[in-house]
Structure formats: structure tokens, C-alpha cells
Amino acid sequence: MTADRWTRMVRQQVGLGRLLPLGGPYDGAWIAERAAGGVLRDAAGREVPEARLDSVRIGLADPGTAAEPAVPAPPSALPPGPLRLTAEFAATAAWPLQETASRLRTSLAVAATERLGLDVTEVDLRVTELLDEEPSAAPSGAPETPGAAPTPRVAAGGSGCAEAPDAAQGVGGAAADAFPGVDAAGGDGSEAVRVAAAVSRVAGVARLTGAWGRPVRLTEQASGAGAALPRRHARVDLAVAAGFRPLEVARAARAAAAEALPDRPTVAVLVTDLD
């Protein structure tokens, strides 16, 4: 790997923000903080228009109570556990600040838990500024990190959704061309294409992405005591289509990825974008 490519990958990972656990320890799913932040800002802008949501961070409410995930997590991902959302906001005097904060807290908590599937149990808010007039609406889905670009598209397709190759095409030729970000030449490439095709058929998967250069990675993890062979593990990076709940899509994508290969590897899903 060249130095330039490594630098681009590091910048892309930093742009995603923290990798937050979706659901519980057995769900094997994570979402980029940047993607979650876009949903939270949209919800706040719709339901509390007199407030302007500024910085938003999400982390573990109590690291000591975090659980061990059932599958290997993406690099630097937070372990499953209750989350604390902290945010700063500015607001007009149209409503008492205490009431505005209460409405904003409810809006953020509902969006995080019901819209995304995050286990947010605490929402801490801080007022930083009084506004003379209501803030103008921010662009929907704006990146959480200044200057961070959306994760590059990997799957082909005019609508932005992946065109899953028919099983009869096999895993070479047209199938590999449909997933240019998946290396089908040698090694586990053909199997990665098979996983990519299966995941792309899942309802709610808008496209495959690739936070670390490839949307599908197959590795081996150590087995438990007494096991003769290590078990394989797959990680899939994807974007979720509008109108779908990321946690449910991730669960379905995990099942599809595991069933795509005969040895049924463990699977982790990382949602990098919400389209």
C-alpha cells in the first residue's frame, strides 16, 4: 500500500467519526457517528426549529458496563453498551430555554433510538448562544466532520443501488465488474464478490461502500479452546437507503452475508452512510 493511499484511508476513517454500536452485543452492527449526526440534525431542525444544533458527540455512557460483542468489531469501534449523547445548541427566546432544551432532548433521544437503533440512555445539552431569529435550515445529511466527504460509492447502478449479479453468472466476469471495489483476482476475492452480491440484494441496502478501501473483507479469527480450525469472519461496509432503519438493514445484511458462503462465517456490518 502506497503512502498516499494509506493517508487517504486514515483521513476517510477520521471523517467517519466514532463507530457506534447499533443494537446490542449480538447484533454485530455499527454506524459511523457522521451518518448518525445527519439524522439527529434533521430531526432537531424539523421538531425544534427555534434551535440550532451545533456540535454533537456520542459515546459510551459508562465504559465499565460495555459488553463484549459477539463478533469481531471494526477497528476502533465502540463496544455495545448504553450511550450518552452530548450536544451544544443555540436558540431564540421564542420559548423558555428550559422548554426548548426539553423538546430538543426528546427529539434527539427518539431519533437516535427509534430511527437509528442506538441505545441512547442519556442526552446532555448545553446552551451556547441566544439567537435573534430562527436559524435557517441546514442541508439534510450534512457531514458531521467539517470537510469530510461522503464515503466513495463502490457498487454500480444508475439509481445508486447495487446491481446484484444473477447467481448463474458466477463470481467472475460480469459479477466482478458489478462490484469494482471488491478484488476478485485470487485469494478470497471471488468469495468477497459472492458476499457483496448477496448483501446488495437486501432491502434497504443502497450501495456498498468501503471505509478501509474494500467493502467486503474476509479474515480468520482464532477459535475457542479445543477447536481444530479457525473460523472465518466477514466485515461488510454499506450505506442504508432513505426510509429504512439502519439496525434492521444491518441485521438482514449480516444474515445474507453469512448464508452466501458454505462455512457461514461470522459477520459484522458497518453502516458508513445514510442515503
Q: What whole-number distance in Å separates Cα of residue 138 and Cα of residue 120? A: 24
Report the pLDDT value the prediction gives residue 275, as an integer from 0 to 100.
87
- In the structure, what pLDDT confidence band is assigned to residue 231 with cuts at 50, 70 and 90? confident
- pLDDT number for residue 30: 98
- Answer yes or no: are the C-beta atoms of 250 and 11 closer than 8 Å: no
pLDDT at 132: 84
Cα–Cα distance, 68 to 76 (Å, whole number)? 14
pLDDT band at 221 (very low <50, low <70, confident <90, very high): confident
d(CA 271, CA 46): 24
Contact criterion met (CB below 8 Å) for 266 and 234: yes
Average pLDDT value for the chain: 81
Question: pLDDT exceeding 90 applies to what percent of the chain?
Answer: 62
Dihedral (C-alpha) 65, 22, 8, 14: value to the nearest 10 degrees?
-50
Task: Delineate the domains of the chain, giving CATH numbers in brackets.
Answer: 22-131 (3.30.70.1350), 167-274 (3.30.70.1350)
Q: What is the mean pLDDT of residues 217-239?
A: 77
The answer to whether residues 151 and 181 touch, using CB atoms and an 8 Å cutoff, is no
Query: 247 or 225: whose pLDDT is higher?
Result: 247
Residue 135: its pLDDT value, please? 81
Residue 25 has pLDDT above 90, yes or no: yes
What pLDDT digit, counting tens, does each position of 124-178 carry? 999 999 988 888 765 444 444 434 445 555 543 333 334 444 433 444 444 445 5
pLDDT for residue 52: 93
* Chain segment 180-210, per-residue pLDDT in tens: 556 443 345 699 999 999 999 999 999 999 7
Which residues partner with 85 through β-bridges?
A: 58, 123
Q: pTM of this prediction?
A: 0.80
Whether the per-residue pLDDT at 3 is higher than 80: the answer is: no
Tens digits of per-residue pLDDT, 57-99? 999 999 999 999 999 999 989 999 999 999 999 999 888 999 9
Q: What is the 3-state secondary structure (H, E, C) of the chain?
A: CCHHHHHHHHHHHHHHCCEEEECCCCCCEEEEHHHHHHHHHHHHHHHCCCEEEEEEEEEECCHHHCCCCCCCCCCCCCCCCCEEEEEEEEEECCCCHHHHHHHHHHHHHHHHHHHHCCCEEEEEEEEEEEECCCCCCCCCCCCCCCCCCCCCCCCCCCCCCCCCCCHHHCCCCHHHHCCCCCCCCCCCHHHHHHHHHHHHCCCCEEEECCCCCCCEEEEEECCCCCCCCCEEEEEEEEEECCCCCHHHHHHHHHHHHHHCCCCCCEEEEEEEEEC
